[in-house]
């Protein structure tokens, strides 16, 4: 089963690599401290859609990972060959911090959502097991330049309000959200900690994607934090062992 899933993800990411990808850019506001009153952190997040699949990642993580990949010889050759398009992201010599140290892939027709993180260079992922149950209202408004309709869902201990447009016939949206009869152009939670606003739609060629590693670890949502902690412990042990094996300088 694991090999089948791994094969699916390799094909999935490969399908995003070649040909045109539509990128939906969201201005994303995050509350970095839900207890104390502080300013919201603003960054861009991308929803890259190609065919029936999508890829969600923050701009800062994309820049950081592409910079990291640029130091690997095999990635340099791959980028030369495929001409990965990073022209629509700001060119930087360093990456800013991000609140989204993960990426998400979706199979849009099947409403399957996969959440990925990385610990010490090793990838770990799980398939989201909580279905989104939307309540679509009759309320319509113009949101971010699109005629939109309101929908509400209880997810992850928060009440989320989404505005979707049928003008963009894609049943998808930012983060783990999808399943509405149109693209989500605005999304926010009832606690005021998260807000996504669609600000731009562009077309790019050969979008940079996260490389899928052969040793990716499959987890579950419930076991995810424990598996991450175990990977971090293993990584720290290996790092100490390598440091301890080095001969002292003369």
Instruction: Output the six-digit token pair for 26.
Output: 């969201």
Q: What Å distances lie between residue 7 and 13, 14, 159, 230, CA to CA?
A: 10, 11, 35, 25
Confidence of residue 94 (pLDDT cuts 50, 70, 90): low
Residues 162, 178: Cα–Cα separation, whole Å: 10
Bigger pLDDT: 130 vs 32: 130
pLDDT for res 35? 73
Decide if pLDDT at 89 tops 60. no
Does the predicted TM-score (pTM) go above 0.95? Answer: no
Residues 28, 229: Cα–Cα separation, whole Å: 28
Instruction: Output the six-digit token pair for 131.
Output: 């279905």
Please tell me the least confidently modeled range out of 22-36, 100-114, 157-171. 22-36
Question: What is the phi-psi region of residue 182: left when phi exceeds 0, alpha when psi lies from -120 to 50, beta otherwise?
Answer: left
Please tell me the least confidently modeled range out of 16-20, 78-82, 198-202. 78-82
Instruction: Output the six-digit token pair for 73.
Output: 């010889």
Which among 98, 117, 116 has a CA at the least distance from the CA of 60?
Answer: 98
Count of helix runs (H) and strand runs (E) in the chain = 4, 12
SS3 123: strand
pLDDT for res 211? 66
pLDDT for res 250? 41
Bigger pLDDT: 77 vs 56: 56
Bigger pLDDT: 81 vs 192: 192
Highest mean pLDDT among 45-49, 214-218, 234-238: 45-49
**Ramachandran angles phi, psi of 18, nearest 5°:** -115, 140
User: Which percentage of the chain shows pLDDT scores above 70?
Assistant: 74
Decide if pLDDT at 16 tops 50. no
Q: What Å distances lie between residue 177 and 105, 125, 142, 196, CA to CA?
A: 11, 17, 20, 11
Bigger pLDDT: 210 vs 170: 170
pLDDT for res 93? 52
Question: What is the phi-psi region of residue 179: left when phi exceeds 0, alpha when psi lies from -120 to 50, beta otherwise?
Answer: left
The answer to whether residues 97 and 201 touch, using CB atoms and an 8 Å cutoff, is no
């Amino acid at each position: 089963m694991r090999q089948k899933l791994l094969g699916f993800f390799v094909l999935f990411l490969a399908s995003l690599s070649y040909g045109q990808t539509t990128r939906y850019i969201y201005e994303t506001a995050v509350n970095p401290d839900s207890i104390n009153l502080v300013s919201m952190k603003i960054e861009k997040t991308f929803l890259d859609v190609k065919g029936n699949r999508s890829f969600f990642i923050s701009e800062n993580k994309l820049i950081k990972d592409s910079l990291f990949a640029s130091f690997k010889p095999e990635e340099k050759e791959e980028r030369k060959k495929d001409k990965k398009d990073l022209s629509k992201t700001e060119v930087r010599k360093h990456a800013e911090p991000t609140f989204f140290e993960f990426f998400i892939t979706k199979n849009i027709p099947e409403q399957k959502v996969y959440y990925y993180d990385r610990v010490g260079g090793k990838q770990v992922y799980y398939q989201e097991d909580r279905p989104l149950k939307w309540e679509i209202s009759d309320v319509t408004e113009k949101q971010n330049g699109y005629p939109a309709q309101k929908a509400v869902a209880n997810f992850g201990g928060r009440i989320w309000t989404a505005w979707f447009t049928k003008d963009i016939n894609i049943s998808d949206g930012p983060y783990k959200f999808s399943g509405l009869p149109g693209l989500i152009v605005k999304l926010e939670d009832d606690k005021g900690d998260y807000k996504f606003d669609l600000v731009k739609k562009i077309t790019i060629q050969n979008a940079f994607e996260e490389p899928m590693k052969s040793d990716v670890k499959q987890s579950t949502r419930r076991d995810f934090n424990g598996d991450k902690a175990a990977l971090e412990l293993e990584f720290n042990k290996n790092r100490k062992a390598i440091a301890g094996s080095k001969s002292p300088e003369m």
